[in-house]
Structure 1
Amino acid sequence: MRFSPVRLLLPALVATLTACSEQKTARQEPAAPPVAAPDTTAAQPATPATPATPDTSAMHNVAAFLAGLPVSRQSDLRPLTAQPAWQAYAADQTKSWTNYHTTRTAKIEEWAATELDSVRAASPTVFYPFSGPDFLNVTTMFPTSTTYVLMGLEPIGTVPDQATLENPKLFPALKASLWSVLNFSFFRTNDMAVELNSKKPDSNTLNKANSIVKTAERTNQRVNIGGVVPLLLLFAARTDHQVEALRYVQLTPEGQLTDADSATVQKPGLNVVPGVEVKLRSKAGQEKTVVYLSADISDWKLGNTKDAALKYVRTLGPLTTYVKSATYLMHKSYFSKVRNLILERSNYLLQDDSGIAMKYFRPAEWQFTYYGTYKRPINLFAKQYQPALTAAYTDKANPPRPLPFGTGYNWRQNDSNLLLARRQQPVQP
């Protein structure tokens, strides 16, 4: 996932906030028995009012609507699903997601069930830096984890309000935003588009992606979906999760997650790390928490926020870290803090070659399993070529294991690589 000042290639009208906050149902005290008294009736104590239970279905209906899935019969959004624009979008999404699950999800699940079986069992918390809103890939790799912490530069955004959901221009915007992640496995940024277009396409995929975006721009049908919130909700719905709650958060300088108001997360100060926390329930009934923090985790910017983001990650206990399409930032000296944290606190690290360079691992502390094929990085990142990986991938005594799907910048199946690093001595809680 691209982590740089370049914004995601997201379509330009900001969605407004629909706040959702949980209320605890007050427990009703049992009535005291009446006390007998001559010629009088004992007064019964007044029954305390019970606050209304939050309508968690309303939040999930927004997620389903954005995903092109049916909403509940009682939903205020149900009439909108009768509109031709939404129905066309829903039909298109059904086709796209059916193809995605056939060509990627099924292959990842089959591969990971064998290769990551023990890793999954020991991964209640997954840290995914440089992720953007990519809940899709991390939950496919680690479906039984209970906490996912994502970080990126992309803004938090808002839950779209009714007016935004009624705008038919929303659907081309969502389609354009999703195209690259469904076809390439990562969100495409402006400079990445130039690089991908310099390659000879083996299909019409790249041309079609460009056509969708250019058409949206030309017809002024690009709606700014505002940040990661709409896409997190969409991915939750499309991965069979029920959205139960959403709250806006921020980090204290000590790395504690606290409530935040919408104004703070939409326009945070220079020293503020804003975020969003989404509560989910899987199809099997497992409760999950997804936290996305909008944070620049370069060494210099971490100094401005007193390392709050990394302090928060340290509170999570031993980690499994997942890194994909990270623009090779942790190869650089000025991302040493997050790199060192991952190497210090992770029992497992699953990454493509854009993650932590091999030169930073201490071989005595880690066991490595290589998957797929390592070739030179795409031209945009040619300087990040690693001879050590070429040596590992051409070791005839320990050949790499198969990787039956594409991932990362070399997104074609036979060009991709993953490295699983297992710590020899597990990190203690």
Structure 2
Amino acid sequence: MRFPVARLLWPAFFLTLAACSDPKTSTPQQQPAAPTPTPATPDTVAAAPATAAAPDTTAVQDVAAYLAGQRLSQGSALRPLAQRPTWQAYATDADKSWSKYHAARTDKIQQWAATELDSVRRQSPVIFYPFSGPDLLNVVTMFPTSQTYVLVGLEPVGSVPHQRTLENPKLFTMLKKSLWSVLEFSFFRTNDMAVDLKSVELDGSLPLMLLFAARTNHQVTGVRYVQLDTEGQLTEADSATISRPGPKVVPGVELTMRDKAGQDKKAYYFSADLSDWKLGQTQEAALKYVRSLGPLTTYVKSASYLMHKSYFSKVRNLAMERSRYILQDDSGIAMKYFRPGTWQFTHYGTYKRPINLFAKHYQPELTRAYADTVHRVRPLPFGTGYNWRQNDSNLLLARRTKPLE
């Protein structure tokens, strides 16, 4: 399958891009302990062999920039669309919203994490972010030097938007609606995503991930659709499989990007139900894949307290068995599941009670920890999670004290 963004290019540019593609057959890809760059495939625009001309990667970056309301490349086929008043108004409004967001959260998170997570970042090449939805924004802000991000959520994978979608003025309304809660409160609302990310304009997580990549100063260099076989091996997939996956298929997407320092990295998103029953029936491959990536740092935020429940034990156990570090708010893994003597805890911010929707998940253990006068709680200068106001938020950094088995 050729890279889907080619569908939205003008015919001449399409021919140029097609000429740069090097179709190959799909073969399983073994996952090493530390992920390494993968070769170019029909679904990605990546670096070609030294003997061939390098493919043009600006097309997919221009789509990301267009969705983000940012400047396009000089020769972009999307420039005529960016001249329309609807996009101009959207871009102006987006700049204002993002400036406000960066001042309230990004700048503070970066300053805090540079100190508090300095040693953690150096030992975190792979970040596992369960129950994430399309939230590439927060994980790359918290862990900007990591090489691989693995996000898992219920939302469909989605696709690179076609030109007819980019031409649709309703796209901008849907983008603003989908981003509103994450920019205002730092998290997506699950019920809203269930509707927003199955719309004509936004068919899944990928469009928002592209937007977040652009707004976090990453250049998108490739997109390819992937799936996991029953053993958790990553294989090629086509758009038909991704849009209508069978009951035993775990569909996904691989986003290749480069940060402003020139570091290449990959973000994966898999659409999977992480409950024990669903994993046991059809989707255990998702956890097998994550387990194959070697030591992890697990990041959990606004996770609906699912891993407090007995029937999310498999994903909880994976995080605790394979993680050197776990950074989470109180909606992540309940304190009662951390084995004594295996973890060292640093608490940040304030712990009061969960919001009313999750009131039954109150943890007396955390109240006692936050009242400890010997191991004092450290400040948290930004809001995060369901208690999103700065003076109400909490984070826990759990460091493993025993070697991984």
> Which whole-Å CA distance do the structure 2 matches of 1:227 and 1:423 have between them?
35
User: Which one of the candidate residues 273, 284, 291 is aligned to 2:268?
Assistant: 291
Say whether the 8 Å CA contact 1:274–1:294 is kept in structure 2. yes
Counterparts of 1:393 and 1:370, CA distance in 2: 7
State the 1:271 CA deviation: 1.0
Superposition deviation, residue 314 in structure 1: 0.8
> CA 1:17–1:425 in structure 2 vs 1: closer, same or farther (change >3 Å)?
farther
Aligned partner of 2:342 among 365, 390, 393: 365
Q: TM-score, normalised by structure 2?
A: 0.87
Match in the other structure for 1:334: 311
Residues 153 and 135 of structure 1, relative CA distance in 2, 3 Å threshold: same
CA distance in 1, matches of 2:364, 2:169: 50
Distance 2:59 2:283 in 1: 37
Q: How does 1:211-250 map to 2 (within 5 A)?
A: 224-250=201-227
Deviation at 1:224, TM superposition (A): 3.4
2:44 is equivalent to residue 21 of structure 1: yes
- Quote the offset at 1:191 in angstroms: 8.1
Tell which structure's C-alpha radius of gyration is larger.
1
Per the alignment, in what secondary structure is the counterpart of residue 213 of structure 2? helix
Query: 1:64–1:376: structure 2 CA closer, same or farther, 3 Å change rule?
Result: same
Cα distance in 1 for residues equivalent to 2:200 and 2:261? 35
CA drift of 1:169 comes to 1.1
| Larger relative contact order, structure 1 or 2 (CA cutoff 8 Å, min sep 6) | 1
Deviations 1:267-315 (CA, angstroms, capped at 9, x unpaired) = 1011110000000000000000000000111111011226101110111
Counterpart AA for 1:272: V
Counterparts of residues 305-316 of structure 1 (less than 5 Å): 305=282, 307-316=284-293
- Identify the residue that residue 28 of structure 2 maps to in structure 1: none
Q: Which residue of 2 aligns with 1:167?
A: 168
Q: Which residue in 2 is equivalent to 1:302? A: 279
Where does structure 1 lack aligned partners over 5 or more consecutive residues? 1-14, 29-49, 193-212, 217-221
* Residues 280-429 of structure 1: pairs in structure 2 closer than 5 A: 280-305=257-282, 307-427=284-404
Secondary structure in 1 aligned to 2:226? strand
Instruction: State the shift of 1:223 in Å.
Output: 5.1
CA–CA separation in structure 2 for the residues paired with 1:370 and 1:137: 19
CA gap 1:83/1:422 in 2 versus in 1, 3 angstroms: same
Deviation of 1:23 (Å): 7.2
Tell whether the 8 Å contact from 1:351 to 1:419 is kept in structure 2 after alignment: yes
Counterpart of 1:98 in structure 2 is 99
Q: Which residue of 1 aligns with 2:64?
A: 63
* Aligned-residue offset at 1:26: 5.9
* Residue 150 (1) aligns with residue 172 (2): no
Structure 1 residue aligned with 2:177: 176
Identity of aligned residues (%): 69
Contact 2:187 2:385 in 1 (8 A): yes
CA contact (8 A) 1:17 1:159 kept: no
Matches within 5 A, 1:46-85: 53-85=54-86
Change (3 A) 1:253 1:130: same
- Give 1:236 deviation, angstroms: 0.3
Q: Once the 2 structures are TM-superposed, how far is the Cα of residue 398 of structure 1 from its aligned partner?
A: 1.9
Q: Residue deviations 1:178-224, cap 9 Å, x none?
A: 010011000123489xxxxxxxxxxxxxxxxxxxx9xx9xxxxx853
Match of 2:132 in 1: 131
Are the equivalent residues in 1 in contact too, given 2:228–2:249 (CA < 8 A)? yes
Q: In structure 2, what is the Cα distance between the partners aligned to 1:418 and 1:53?
A: 44
SS at match of 2:341: helix
Is the 2:249–2:283 Cα contact (8 Å) retained in structure 1? Answer: no
1:251 aligns with 2:252: no
How many correspondences in the alignment? 366
Q: Deviations over 1:292-340 (max 9, x none)?
A: 0001111110112261011101111000000000000000010000101
Distance 1:341 1:388 in 2: 23
Closer, same or farther: CA 17–125 of 1 in aligned 2, 3 Å: farther
Question: CA offset at residue 403 of structure 1?
Answer: 0.4
Task: Give me the whole-angstrom Cα distance separating, in 2, the residues matched to 1:420 and 1:263.
Answer: 41
Distance 1:124 1:27, change over 3 A: closer
SS of structure 2 residue aligned to 1:305: helix
Task: Say what the alpha-carbon RMSD is for the aligned residues.
Answer: 2.1
Give the 3-state SS of the residue equivalent to 1:302 in structure 2: helix
- Mapped partners of 2:230, 2:49: distance in 1: 33
Q: What TM-score, normalized to structure 1? A: 0.82
In structure 2, what is the Cα distance between the partners aligned to 1:17 and 1:298? 37
| Post-superposition offset of 1:69 | 0.2
CA contact (8 A) 1:274 1:293 kept: yes
* Counterpart residue type for residue 155 of structure 2: E
